């Protein structure tokens, strides 16, 4: 009786509706790229997919799991080095690729600190970093140390970079920094002086400088380690 209240019992239900883990992850990535992690909510995501909130939970166990899937998806965009590249060009290429990922997906760099990166793509990336170094004759330990050092630099730099960009971009210096400069001019003159230096705001150049430093340092020590 009640259930035949009118016509079809429920106007909206069980149609196929393209929901799938991949579709959800894809849409989630769009939201993340556009609005960042704070703004991602299961409910809004479901709405954008034309589904009810709880429908997502059939394909994904939890929100954190979904985020880990998204993080790993970004690792999947990593550019693997060519199989014949020598040690240094392989490393340089990988590190540029890493930075590129960070700039494309700021939420990703910010998030790698809060989640474990042990998805298949993350592991594949890590593995691929070893290949050229071992091929060049480094010991496992030396390769691990080198990789850890270089990618630590790149990740740290990328975090600072996306932070700086999201604060105001390339308008060297961004508007809100002007007030800060006034605030601290007397107490911390070096800092304020630095804010005024034009050349410093070349993020590209700074990255290259740092990468060169790190690679040089490693080259020098890696000989000792063989």
Considering CB distances under 5 to 8 angstroms, the limit depending on partner class, which of DNA, a second copy, none binds residue 215? a second copy
For DNA, the binding residue among 35, 41, 89, 191 (CB under 7 A) is: 41
Q: Of 72 and 161, which has the nearer Cβ to DNA?
A: 72
For DNA, the binding residue among 33, 51, 153, 180 (CB under 7 A) is: 51
* DSSP 8-state assignment for residue 188: -
Residue 134 binds a second copy, judged by CB under 8 A: yes
Are 74 and 108 in contact by the 8 Å Cβ rule? The answer is: yes
- Shortest gap between Cβ of 46 and a second copy (angstroms)? 22
Taking CA 163 as the corner, what is the angle to CA 36 and CA 185, rounded to the nearest 5 degrees? 145
SS3 string, 109-162, reads: HHHCCCCCCCCHHHHHHHHHHHHHHHHCCCCHHHHHHHHHHHHHHHHHHHHHHH
Q: Is the preceding peptide bond at 84 cis, omega within 30 degrees of 0?
A: no
Tokens of residue 53, six digits:
């909130």
For DNA, the binding residue among 30, 34, 35, 53 (CB under 7 A) is: 53
- Shortest gap between Cβ of 196 and a second copy (angstroms)? 9
Residue 92 binds DNA, judged by CB under 7 A: no
Whole-angstrom Cα distance, residue 38 to residue 41? 8
Considering CB distances under 5 to 8 angstroms, the limit depending on partner class, which of a second copy, DNA, none binds residue 62? DNA
Q: Of 54 and 213, which has the nearer Cβ to a second copy?
A: 213
Residue 16 binds DNA, judged by CB under 7 A: yes
Are 40 and 81 in contact by the 8 Å Cβ rule? The answer is: no
- Shortest gap between Cβ of 56 and DNA (angstroms)? 8
Residue 42 binds DNA, judged by CB under 7 A: yes
- List of residues 6+ apart from 130 with CB closer than 8 A: 140, 143, 144, 147
For DNA, the binding residue among 35, 44, 188, 219 (CB under 7 A) is: 44
Q: Is the preceding peptide bond at 148 cis, omega within 30 degrees of 0?
A: no
Considering CB distances under 5 to 8 angstroms, the limit depending on partner class, which of DNA, a second copy, none binds residue 185? none
List residues binding DNA (CB under 7 A): 3, 8-10, 12-20, 40-44, 46, 51-55, 57-59, 62-64
């Amino acid at each position: 009786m009640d259930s035949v209240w009118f016509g079809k019992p429920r106007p909206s239900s069980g149609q196929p509706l393209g929901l799938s883990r991949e579709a959800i992850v894809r849409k989630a990535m769009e939201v993340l790229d556009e609005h960042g992690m704070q703004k991602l909510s299961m409910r809004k995501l479901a709405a954008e997919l034309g589904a009810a909130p709880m429908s997502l939970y059939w394909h994904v166990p939890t929100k954190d799991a979904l985020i880990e899937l998204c993080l790993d998806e970004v690792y999947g965009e990593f550019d693997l080095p060519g199989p014949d590249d020598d040690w240094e060009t392989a490393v340089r290429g990988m590190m540029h690729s890493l930075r590129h990922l960070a700039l494309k997906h700021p939420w990703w760099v910010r998030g790698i600190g809060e989640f474990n990166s042990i998805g298949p793509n993350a592991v594949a990336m890590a593995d691929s970093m070893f290949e050229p170094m071992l091929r060049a004759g480094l010991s496992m330990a030396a390769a691990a140390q080198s990789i850890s050092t270089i990618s630590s630099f790149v990740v740290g730099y990328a975090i600072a970079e996306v932070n700086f960009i999201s604060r105001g971009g390339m308008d060297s210096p961004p508007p809100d920094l002007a007030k800060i400069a006034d605030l601290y001019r007397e107490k911390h003159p070096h800092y304020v002086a630095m804010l005024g230096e034009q050349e410093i705001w070349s993020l590209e150049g700074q990255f290259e400088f740092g990468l060169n430093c790190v690679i040089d340092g490693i080259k020098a020590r890696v000989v000792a380690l063989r």
